[in-house]
Structure 1
Amino acid sequence: MLKGLYTATSAMITQQRRTEMLTNNIANANTPGYKEDQSSIRSFPEMLLSRMESGSFKAGGYSRSFSKHTPIGSINTGVYLQELKPQFSQGDLQSTDQPTDIALSESRVPVNQETNDKAALFYAVKLGNGDIRYSRNSRFSLNENNQLTINGNVILSTTGQPITVGSENFKVAEDGTVTENGQNLGKIDVRIALDTRNLAREGNDLYRTENGDNLPSAVNRPDVNYSVKQGMAERSNVDITRAYTDMTAAYRSFEANQKVLQAYDKSMEKAANEIGRIG
């Protein structure tokens, strides 16, 4: 009976975590460049149940006893949410006509032969402590020093320096070159993650590498083709309809396992308070 309790409880915990993931996806459906999380649910190893029995036989005038195991079948020991994995497909591009909205449009990126997943492109930004992080947020802004930033973190050029403009009247070419009044102010650096499994979400629309290495630049790579679109914003890749449907299914599964848990609880209460009293 306790195995059933553990199985139902593990399913409830799994569906609770899945609901939290889906809630976060829905909450960020309007966040520019947000990449939805996906989950992988795995089951614990199955256990083989056997019935232990005893038998006897006569040999040499003596009765000999022995034990034997009769297979009953297997039992599942529950499920767990193995991992949360961002899905890095590009979101739809939306025209905003705002000069500080600058979106990445991927035309061609290499495919990881091991995972069969496409590589992902990001803007490189520098934190206040000097660490490099990566973002797909297309809503740029200017800080007090007139430097291009994403959520307050300065965007790096291909030379590793911030890009400083005079006003919001700057222009961005499709190759990422920033100009103002005919003056070249730098080229936006675009980095490539060849294996997206090495990326970890950090919050504030930022990603970091698990191994601590910096992502290589995608600029002038022969196997990469992209364009930078000024006046456009990349929407999140969250499918709202599917997210709500999945959330309803997760809730129903949680509710079903909750009823199973209540049934086990009543059975144990009866065994303790009634059967135990008769004995």
Structure 2
Amino acid sequence: MLRGLYTATSAMQTSQKKLDVTSNNMANMNTTGFKKDVVVTEAFPEVFLHKLKGSIDNKSVENRLFVDVKKTGNEFSLSTTGGFFSADSLNGVSFSRSTLFSIDEEGYLRTFVRDSDGNPNFSEGNYILSQQGSRVFVGQGNVDINDKGQVMVNGQQVGDLVKVPPRGVIGTINSGLRLDRIQTKFRQGSFEETGNPLDFAIEGNGFFQVQTPQGIMYTRDGNFTLNNNGEIVTTEGYLLLGQYGSILLDSKDFQLGLNGEVVVNNEVVDQINLVGIKNLHDLRKYGENLYYMDESKTLEIEEFEGKVIQGFLEGSNINPIEEMVNMINILRLYESNQKVIRSYDEILQKAANEIGKL
């Protein structure tokens, strides 16, 4: 009975974090270049649920074992009613009757999430386990899975994905929801014309590079100014980087090319460092509208393919109506789980005060 308390409590804790993130989004809806955050959650591992008495004949389960296999390229979608698939998560081994996975860069079967381009991202995925509990390695061979859940590579069996449950197992159960990570959505914001020659807006995927005391960081906030030395800086005083380091100007009388060229008197004197980043999901917010790369990850730079527009600023990508609806839904979910805990508390109180008297 107490499992429901843990489930409701974990849901309330997750809702509280969602509310914090949504509130922060709304507070920054007028912040230049701000990008929306979303909370990514996951269920705790699914564990086997056993009968208290009696058992189920495993042979009858094996006889009706059938796996529905759908393959698209290197992606496999499997489901079965005669057993369970298992995956190695950070919180332990999880079991399910359906699964979606592909082949990662190292040749292992692994679950994934899709990035903004729709491609599999394995960094947040879990390894698929064989019937014996080991990771399934397929390499770069021709991979196929038959209707018994057996993994075949170039015609040779390398693993069996379906685990027949122990006697007495009637299904799976988990302990609720947990916070997985906070993900930033780098969708383009709308442009606002300012007429200020030191206001820059990036159209497309890319970032300005700025020099901070903690090293080089990245930003979409193009609200710049000049310091006492004539260098282009952010509102916090961090240097905007060009090909030769800081960008020096004698005045605001300059033009900016679409690729970031700084033109003075029809002569290119410098060019803003504009970079594209492949692994956007590994960027972390630092504050002051800056981003840095997660220390455990490697920065993957790609060529900047957008353009930079002078005299404009990019607004946030926050939709205030959408955020308000999210906030209302989160509050309702929080209140619902609060009622569940209150009901459990009343039941336990009766069990202690009334049943205990009998």
**TM-score tier (shorter):** 0.7 to 0.9
Among 204, 213, 216, the alignment partner of 1:128 is 213
Q: Deviations over 1:247-277 (max 9, x none)?
A: 1111100000000011111111111122223
CA distance in 1, matches of 2:299, 2:261: 22
Number of the residue aligned with 2:200? 102
Q: Secondary structure at the match of 2:187?
A: coil
Q: Deviations over 1:138-192 (max 9, x none)?
A: 1112222221112311000023x10111222332122211233445431111011
Compare 29-38 and 177-186 and name the one that shifted more: 177-186
* Structure 2 residue 284 is the aligned partner of structure 1 residue 200: yes
Q: Give the alignment of 1:114-153 within 5 angstroms.
A: 120-128=205-213, 131-150=215-234, 151-153=236-238
CA distance in 2, matches of 1:52, 1:255: 33
More helix by proportion, 1 or 2? 1
Q: Secondary structure at the match of 2:242?
A: coil
Among 179, 183, 189, the alignment partner of 1:85 is 183
Q: Could you tell me whether the CA contact under 8 Å between 2:277 and 2:299 is conserved in 1? A: no
Offset of 1:45 from its aligned partner?
2.3
In structure 2, the CA distance between the partners of 1:174 and 1:70, relative to structure 1 (3 Å rule), is closer
Number of the residue aligned with 1:11? 11
CA distance in 2, matches of 1:54, 1:232: 72
Q: Could you tell me whether the CA contact under 8 Å between 2:26 and 2:323 is conserved in 1? A: yes
Compare 194-203 and 226-235 and name the one that shifted more: 194-203
* Structure 2 residue 327 is the aligned partner of structure 1 residue 241: no
Q: Deviations over 1:34-62 (max 9, x none)?
A: 1111222211123433332379xxxxxxx
CA distance in 1, matches of 2:174, 2:282: 32
* Structure 2 residue 250 is the aligned partner of structure 1 residue 190: no
In structure 2, the CA distance between the partners of 1:8 and 1:29, relative to structure 1 (3 Å rule), is same
Number of the residue aligned with 2:357? 277
If asked which structure has higher relative contact order (CA below 8 Å, sep 6+), I would say: 1
CA distance in 1, matches of 2:343, 2:19: 24
Amino acid in the other structure paired with 1:5? L
Among 205, 227, 247, the alignment partner of 1:163 is 247
Q: Secondary structure at the match of 1:238?
A: coil
Number of the residue aligned with 1:256? 336
Number of the residue aligned with 2:108? none
Offset of 1:228 from its aligned partner?
1.3
Q: Secondary structure at the match of 1:53?
A: coil
CA distance in 1, matches of 2:188, 2:340: 41
TM value normalised by structure 1? 0.81
CA distance in 1, matches of 2:50, 2:302: 59
Offset of 1:70 from its aligned partner?
5.2
Offset of 1:215 from its aligned partner?
5.8
Q: Could you tell me whether the CA contact under 8 Å between 1:166 and 1:180 is conserved in 2? A: no
Aligned positions, number: 246
In structure 2, the CA distance between the partners of 1:164 and 1:54, relative to structure 1 (3 Å rule), is closer
Amino acid in the other structure paired with 1:123? F
Q: Could you tell me whether the CA contact under 8 Å between 1:123 and 1:134 is conserved in 2? A: yes
Among 183, 204, 228, the alignment partner of 2:308 is 228
Kindly name which structure, 1 or 2, has the bigger radius of gyration based on alpha carbons: 1
CA distance in 2, matches of 1:263, 1:7: 13
In structure 2, the CA distance between the partners of 1:173 and 1:7, relative to structure 1 (3 Å rule), is same
Amino acid in the other structure paired with 1:174? L
Amino acid in the other structure paired with 1:244? M
CA distance in 2, matches of 1:137, 1:98: 14
CA distance in 2, matches of 1:28, 1:50: 49
CA distance in 2, matches of 1:86, 1:127: 22
Among 288, 294, 309, the alignment partner of 1:210 is 294
Amino acid in the other structure paired with 1:156? L
Amino acid in the other structure paired with 2:193? S
Aligned-pair identity (%) = 34
In structure 2, the CA distance between the partners of 1:194 and 1:214, relative to structure 1 (3 Å rule), is closer
Which structure 2 segments of 5+ residues have no match? 56-166
